[in-house]
């Protein structure tokens, strides 16, 4: 997936996460990723495993992976 710019100064990236099965799972993943500096929005969808992240600049994949791991799920990479 190629990063897209939605508004000036923001970057959107979509990641694949496995193991989410409900709204609580979505919330856990969203909370952890929201803690990464520069993140302004996170939308996790358990049904598809997709997590859409809007940030001020491209994020280091290692930071996203660590946040997903902290939430207890498996980071699969960019969707």
CATH of the domain at 60: 3.30.70.100
Residue 4 lies in a domain: no
Give the domain range for residue 29. Answer: 11-78
**pTM for this entry:** 0.88
CB contact at 8 A, 55 and 10: yes
Residue 43 lies in a domain: yes
How many domains would you assign to the chain? 1
Task: Print pLDDT tens along the chain (79 aa).
Answer: 334 445 667 999 999 999 999 999 999 999 999 999 999 999 999 999 999 999 999 999 999 999 999 999 999 999 8
For 27, phi then psi, to 5°, come to -65, -40
Gap between the Cα atoms of 67 and 31, Å rounded = 9
10: left (phi over 0), alpha (psi -120 to 50) or beta: beta
């Amino acid at each position: 997936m190629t990063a897209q710019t939605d508004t000036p100064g923001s970057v959107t990236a979509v990641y694949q996460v496995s193991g989410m099965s409900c709204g609580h799972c979505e919330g856990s993943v969203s909370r952890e990723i929201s803690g990464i500096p520069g993140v302004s929005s996170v939308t996790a969808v358990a049904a598809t495993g997709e997590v859409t992240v809007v940030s001020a600049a491209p994020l280091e994949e290692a930071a996203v992976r660590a946040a997903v791991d902290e939430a207890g799920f498996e980071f699969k990479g960019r969707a």
